[in-house]
A and B are shown apart, each in its own frame.
Chain A
Amino acid sequence: MKKIMKPQTSVILTSGVIILLAALGILIKPNVHAQRQLPKPTFAPMGAVAPAMKPSADRQIAILDLVIYSAEGGKIEKVDLARARIINSFAPNVFDVNGPWRVELIGKDRQQFYTMDPRLVHILDDNLEIPHSSIIQTGEVAWQLVVPLYYQDTVLWIETINIYDENQNLIFSTPVDREAWLKASGQ
């Protein structure tokens, strides 16, 4: 004759099974804290490297070689443009990055992006509890600024580039001379 289990007994047994299975669930959970060395990438011999693809013609950037002159204490005295080029290239993805300085692109289209103070130098030490220390270079500092001339799939027709410091002071402005800057690149 089939023995009918009392509800209380059933609860006790089922609870025991739950606890057991829960423990098993914990035990068989993947060990996400275990270390794994990824397979090291291997690289083809130089002679086997395929010619690299160039970006399409609508992918252009302006490279501005600037010189920043700062007084002791960090006040910017002037920013000079030493050289400007426009080349076909993919651009760094700068439009969603924060920073204290602002680069404003004005023309038929209007865009802006932010960047770190290029005079800021981080002095590193991987062994220290504090990652590093920082200084602001004064005097003459060279800065190569890359300006995207496209945004997503749209060409930006920029006529003026303005740069503002962290206090929103306009510290540099230049018209974009596409013809001369393209010629300067040799492309």
Chain B
Amino acid sequence: MIFGQKFRFMILALMALVILPGMSGCSCNRTVVIKTATPTVSADDTVYSGIYHAVQDAAIDVVFIPDDSYGDMMDLAQRQVFIDDMTDLINNGFYQNNAIAVNLELFNFWYITSPGDVQAPTTGICPTVTWPDLTNVAFAEAIVLLHSNSLRDCAWGNKVTSEPTSYRTVVHEVSHAAFGLADEYCCDGGYWNNAPQLYLLESSCSGDADNTAWRDCKSIHATNGIYWWRSEGTTADMMSAGGLPVVEFGFADWFLIKAVLTGLGSSTVVDPSVYAPSSWDWPD
């Protein structure tokens, strides 16, 4: 009988270990407070908070600009169309990325009413863009000019033009600007020595203690002849591949992103529960 009691206790403890984690969900199921009130903090009264969580010094700030085709931004109905597009892009782009979703409190989404203008290119591939005065959004880590006309978009530094449904492209571009992530696809991306994501030397990749958890050094032969070394092998992630299913960051991306988010002064940076190539959807 004594053996039986001990055994049953062990069984109960084992049951708790098996069942409770299943009931507790994951870190992606945390409560997220969406603040949609008018701004209490902004750089200027031409800048409005779409979704505001923290003062600019303590957040990644993404600013949206309407193309002039959205019409008069003083007209509420016309402005609402722009805001609906912006919201859709946030919902289906940024919020579908697990690393961003579990750290939403560190992201602000702003908009300005001064329009830009995106037109088909007169020369080359990129559109002809007229940007509004961006002085009041100098705090932004990334600026997105939304337009509805269909054309090939481009990104320059922290500025990008985008159609409202280019969900993952915008997240990819914002990741360059806000987190300093290099491209990981072959062969004409923006590459630089960016440990533990990308290396100029194979020996640097294979000898970096920071990437031991996922190390699979594979080369990218750039069009200019230089070989770059990626620590995540051929894994498809937000910085390496397109296609709708790939919306997550890889381990190396997160290493760099975490450093940036931690630098904002937050003590509550949360590790993603899902890494590429797995995908994730905003939970119920």
Query: What are the residues of chain A within 8 A of B100 when measuring CB–CB?
Result: none
| Chain B residue with the shortest CB-CB distance to A30 | B25
Docked CA distance A37–B190 (Å): 33
**Of A103-111, A112-120, A155-163, A172-180, the one touching chain B:** A112-120
- What are the residues of chain B within 8 A of A118 when measuring CB–CB? 156-157
Shortest CB distance B226–A (Å):
11
Question: In the complex the two chains form, what is the Cα distance from A11 to B10 in whole Å?
Answer: 11
Interface string of A114-138 (1 = CB under 8 A from B): 1111101111111111111111000
Chain A contact surface mostly: loop
Residues of B within 8 A of A1 (CB): none
- Contact (Cβ within 8 A) A90 B18: no
Question: Which chain B residue lies CB-closest to A27?
Answer: B22
A-side contacts of B178, CB under 8 Å: 97
B18 to chain A, nearest CB (A): 5
Closest Cβ of chain B to A144, distance in Å, is 7
Looking at the complex, which one of A17, A36, A49, A143 makes contact with B38 (CB distance below 8 Å)?
Answer: A49
Is B283 at the interface (CB under 8 A from chain A)?
yes
Q: Which residues of A contact B225 (CB under 8 A)?
A: none
CB-defined contacts of A49 to chain B, threshold 8 Å: 38-39, 45, 48
**Contact A123 B264, beta carbon cutoff 8 Å:** no
Query: Is A31 interfacial (CB-CB < 8 Å)?
Result: yes
Contact with A along B75-91 (1 / 0, CB 8 A): 01001100110010001
Most-contacted residue by chain A among B167, B183, B193 (CB, 10 A):
B183
Partner of B55, one of A90, A125, A130: A90
Q: Is A46 an interface residue (CB 8 A)?
A: yes
Question: Are A53 and B280 also in contact (CB < 8 A) when A124-B166, A146-B138 are?
Answer: no
- Binary interface encoding of chain B residues 1-37 relative to chain A, with 1 for a CB under 8 A from any of its CBs, else 0: 1011001100100110011111101101100001011
Say yes or no for A57: interface residue by CB 8 A criterion. Answer: no
Give the contacting residue for A38; candidates B29, B180, B273, B282; CB below 8 A.
B282
A42 at interface, CB cutoff 8 A: yes
Q: Which of A46-79 contact B (CB under 8 A)?
A: 46, 48-55, 59, 61, 63
Interface size, B (range): 35 or more
B42 A52 Cβ-Cβ under 8 A = yes
CA distance A122 to B43 in the complex (A): 28
Given contacts A29-B23, A32-B26, A133-B188, contact A124 B36 (CB under 8 A): no
B169 interface residue per 8 A CB criterion: yes
Cβ–Cβ contact B34 & A130, under 8 A: no
Contacting residues, chain B, for A121 (C-beta < 8 A): 126, 154-156
A98 near B38: Cβ-Cβ < 8 Å: no
Q: In the complex, are the beta carbons of B152 and A129 less than 8 A apart?
A: no
Cβ–Cβ contact B42 & A53, under 8 A: yes
Chain B residues with Cβ below 8 Å from A90 are: 43, 55-57, 138-139
Q: Is the beta-carbon distance between A28 and B87 smaller than 8 angstroms?
A: no
* A64 CA / B18 CA spacing, docked (Å): 59
Can you sample 9 A-B contacts with CB below 8 Å?
A25-B21, A26-B22, A40-B84, A41-B36, A43-B83, A52-B39, A52-B41, A117-B190, A124-B173
Binding site for B on A (CB under 8 A): 4, 7, 10-11, 14-15, 17-18, 21-22, 24-26, 28-46, 48-55, 59, 61, 63, 87, 89-93, 95-100, 114-118, 120-135, 143-144, 146, 152, 166
Shortest 8 CB-CB distances between A and B: which pairs? A96-B263, A25-B22, A52-B42, A100-B192, A98-B180, A41-B36, A97-B180, A90-B139
